[in-house]
Amino acid sequence: MRFPDDVPVLTDGVVTLRAHRTDDIGAVVEQCRDPEMAAWTTVPAPYRLEDAEQFVGSVVSKAWADGSTQTFAIEHDGRYAGAIDLRRRDHAEADIGFGLHPEARGKGVMHRAINLLLDWAFVERGHSVVTWRAFVGNWASRRVVWSTGFHFGPTVPGLCEQRGERRDAWTGWIGADDSRQPKTRWLEVPLLESARLRLRAWRADDGHRLVEASNDQRLRHFITHSPLPHATQDVGAYLLRVHQAAADGKRLAWCIADRETDQVLGNVALFDFAPDGSAQVGYWSHPAARARGVMSEAARMVTDWGLDPEPEGMGLRRLYLLTAVSNAASRHVAEQAGFKHVGTERAAAPVGTAYEDNAVYDRLADPV
């Protein structure tokens, strides 16, 4: 295809995809010098004016001419807002890539741009599937493809290269017949507060308290297969799993913190969400927070929120929890949080090196 003559103009009336022009070069430099671009893409670092001139002047046009990649400039409010491209793998499959100028972020621009490109890829280019990959941790990229209906595949170790280093990557895809609606619910941890507690999302600076809890003998006895990080170097991977579980709609985990000092006291989580409106509750306490009523209060705060109707709460119908029959402290927490003992699972709880019975508790939104 001839550049720029054969480059189509795609627009929804708000966002436009078009051929790059020489007057985009200054904005390209600004975009590619942004720290987020350096962190999550393969643009040269440091980024020079000559890099932008070469990209706009020859890289884009040559790729259009040989059919390997179709790169569009994104325009919003009459200004250059970023770039998006389609990289052909074969007649059926193409890969999508994109990046925004800092001033265009947070305005829904990329969501619109991806939809425009997908329409063109499926209808005009005849592709049946468009794939996506991004370095693990690139939440902005993951969020926007989630919002446009991509399915998520496995995380592949060392899949992508950045400046000579192999990095793990998330993967995803969308088919020509797929809806453009999210396939899962992206969960956000709401801030819950009482007079003495703050329940919030976990952060990197909570790492040392996570490690302390992980190495607590009592916690390890009753949560034999705990995924908590044993050492500081394991914290990053643990927090990534926590945040990804929320993004995949599978689990919400609150850090229980002292409201005045913000010191970590424990964890409460909702998980195993079922179509019938039920979910499981789990919790653990940092050793320094025990015997103070902290966990009972936090568990009640989370379960109250979970059972409250939307939008104030999550609108769940039933919450349940499982705890070893010998774990008197955990059973006390359940009862103080309004749960009722409704049954026993025989030899279902791993405790130490053996198995014992699980006590089953539940709490209903509308008690009968």
Task: Tell me if 134 sits within 8 A of 141, measured CB to CB.
Answer: yes
pLDDT of 76-109, one tens digit each? Answer: 999 999 999 999 999 999 999 999 999 999 999 9
5 domain-assigned: no
Q: What DSSP string describes 293-305?
A: THHHHHHHHHHHH
Phi/psi of residue 41, each to 5°?
Answer: -130, -175
243 domain-assigned: yes
User: Does 285 share its domain with 330?
Assistant: yes
HSE at residue 326, side-chain half, CA atoms within 13 A, is 15
Tokens of 347: 């030899």
User: Does 281 share its domain with 310?
Assistant: yes
Instruction: Say how far residue 200 (Cα) sits from the centre of its chain.
Output: 16
60 domain-assigned: yes
pLDDT of 329-349, one tens digit each? Answer: 999 999 999 999 999 999 999
User: Does 134 share its domain with 213?
Assistant: no
Q: Is 233 helix (H, G, I), strand (E, B) or coil?
A: helix
Angle at CA 33, nearest 5°, toward 29 and 34?
A: 120
User: Does 334 share its domain with 215?
Assistant: yes
Looking at 175, 204, 221, which one is the last position of a domain?
A: 175
267 domain-assigned: yes
Task: Tell me if 159 sits within 8 A of 118, measured CB to CB.
Answer: no
User: Does 301 share its domain with 162?
Assistant: no
Looking at 121, 141, 175, which one is the last position of a domain?
A: 175
User: Does 141 share its domain with 54?
Assistant: yes
Q: What DSSP string describes 177-231?
A: TS-SS-SS-------EE-SSEEEE---GGGHHHHHHHHT-HHHHHHSTT----SS
252 domain-assigned: yes
User: Does 166 share its domain with 201?
Assistant: no
303 domain-assigned: yes
User: Does 167 share its domain with 235?
Assistant: no
Q: Report the C-alpha gap between 97 and 134 in whole angstroms.
A: 9
186 domain-assigned: no
Cis peptide before 4 (omega within 30 of 0): yes
Tokens of 255: 């850090």
Domain that holds residue 225: 192-364
233 domain-assigned: yes
pLDDT for residue 182: 98
pLDDT for residue 368: 58
pLDDT of 41-54, one tens digit each? Answer: 999 999 999 999 99
User: Does 253 share its domain with 330?
Assistant: yes
Looking at 175, 200, 222, which one is the last position of a domain?
A: 175
| pLDDT tens digit at each of 368 positions of the chain | 888 999 999 999 999 999 999 999 999 999 999 999 999 999 999 999 999 999 999 999 999 999 999 999 999 999 999 999 999 999 999 999 999 999 999 999 999 999 999 999 999 999 999 999 999 999 999 999 999 999 999 999 999 999 999 999 999 999 999 999 999 999 999 999 999 999 999 999 999 999 999 999 999 999 998 999 999 999 999 999 999 999 999 999 999 999 999 999 999 999 999 999 999 999 999 999 999 999 999 999 999 999 999 999 999 999 999 999 999 999 999 999 999 999 999 999 999 889 999 999 999 998 65
User: Does 244 share its domain with 325?
Assistant: yes
Task: Tell me if 258 sits within 8 A of 252, measured CB to CB.
Answer: no
pLDDT for residue 352: 86
Question: How many structural domains is the chain composed of?
Answer: 2
User: Does 166 share its domain with 300?
Assistant: no
Tokens of 230: 């044993």
User: Does 234 share its domain with 168?
Assistant: no
Residue 313, domain CATH: 3.40.630.30
Give pTM, 2 decimals: 0.92
